[in-house]
Structure 1
Amino acid sequence: MSSTTWTGILEAHARAHGEIVVGIDPHLPDVPAAFETVGGTMGWLPAYLDFVLDTTAGRAGFVKFQAAFFEACGLAGLGALSVAMHRARDLGFGVILDAKRGDIGSTAAAYARAYLTPAEHGGGGDFEADCLTVNPMMGPDTLEPFLDCVDRYGKGLLVLCRTSNPGAGWLQDRMTGNRLVSERLAELITAVGRGQSTGAGLSPVGAVIGATVAAEGRRLRHLLPNATILAPGIGPQGGDPGALDALRGGRPGDLLVPVSRGLLRAEDRGIALDDYRRLVIGRLEHLKAAVARPPLDAAG
């Protein structure tokens, strides 16, 4: 599998750099005040993004941009997101856009063109990601345009399955027939991914399952044998790194652990940028060690 496809990126980058995903959720109160000075007339956001990417490049294999935080900054935020996504790919990151899009018909197709279709094939080109988070709650047909991009362009999807927020169980832990909603979603993810996979390798269609729900995650992993699980919740949400073993499969790239505030938040906004760089690097190395995959046997 080519390393330019999502599954190729997953396997190669997880082997080289581990499972931590640098989560970029830019929020000014969490950012050192120095960026408001060094950013000049361009504003703090581009300078901050360049800093984070330069600091973590070569130390982490994946970056996840949370679209909402950029949208909240208006047109300047969207412009900064586009530049940062292109730069992240140039620096060798696997790029995940966390937009959780989901809709019907032509609207879903438009989202797929915006985020997963290369410009040379008719996409907008400004926000092209390697992998996109999507919301399946309106039904399997809403995934079809995104799956088409997986098939045509080697992209990846991460489909909401059992999320990390406190209220997730209100719907996701409800019974429907003889299955929980989250189990039905896991079965859907496996079924649609099976049509996109080659052999017994990783599926390009994975699941979002919170690191805060280890018991549910263990059950769902059995329904997702070849899927990558994106496991948010480590850090301020209270997820335990030790619980991640319940979500692991048997191969590199089948678990990704995004950390944003727990990696990048500056509790002291007056921190000097050299000290902030050392802080981020130290946190990243600690996180990588904390979630490191146990040695795989020869078959892994």
Structure 2
Amino acid sequence: MILTVTANPALDVSYRVDKLRPGHTHRIGAVFERAGGKGFNVSRVLHDQGVPTRALGPVGGILGDSLRADLLDAGLPHDLLPVAAATRMTIAVVADEATMFNEPGGPLSAFDWSRLHDLVRSYLPRAEVLVCSGSLPLDAPDESYADFVALAAKFRVPTVVDVGGAPLRAAAQAGVAIVKPNAEELAAAVDDDDPLVGARELRSLGAEAVVVSLGADGLLAATPDGDWRATLPRPVVGNPTGAGDAAVAALADGLRRGLTWPERLRLAVTWAGAAVAAPLAGTVDPDVLRDLYDQVDIAPA
């Protein structure tokens, strides 16, 4: 199975409005609530595509109870660790585009970090790939995901990490199999605005492969088999919130199955585009999924 770790979960709340007008009262057309956090979104996409997965993460407080109930209702295999820190909330206001409001996560104690490590360790003998995805809680060490990379390596399990800044750099130095930042997260890690230069730098630090999300411009990848660009035939209109998570799910599945890098990138950019067309993060539009796959352009970067 593919094991996912969400270190900083959230209850995701989405409001749909006709138009976002700062300073005005809005009538909400529709409200959606679900267990959120990048790792949970990755597991949702994998589960929907028939890929065995289990989602792990720390939860606390009333919102933690709501998050747990949603995962149970969705039938998503999971194991949530009760902790003292309260689970946070994120709010997306969706009109013509999505406007995000993300609360910070409460700090995890050293004891709870140790318990989370023990939980991950208990599942690694059954895992084919480990995914560590999303922001870290307040006061978490930059090496938090790197420590999971090293832990998984003891079980010969490759790791995919989706994070930015210093934690991204630390994961690369730990010898991660794949990192998947967006361009902004990559620039914060390497202090260079050129995505290809930054991706190559992370590879020089120890990452086996670096895949950079470029939004509507697709994916850029620096891999052991060369540098690649993957682009969709046309832009997909919708909510881009979960596109990166769908790409991570595809990369993890491609790693699990031993696909070539062009095949992995074709899968990743297709799942990302289909996620934009879906109403909520963690889902993909099946019609868009079928329509896009054979039209993706893969070319050397």
TM range (shorter): 0.3 to 0.5
Structure having the higher strand fraction is 2
The higher relative CO (CA closer than 8 Å, separation ≥ 6) is in 1
TM-score (norm 2): 0.42
Structure having the higher helix fraction is 1
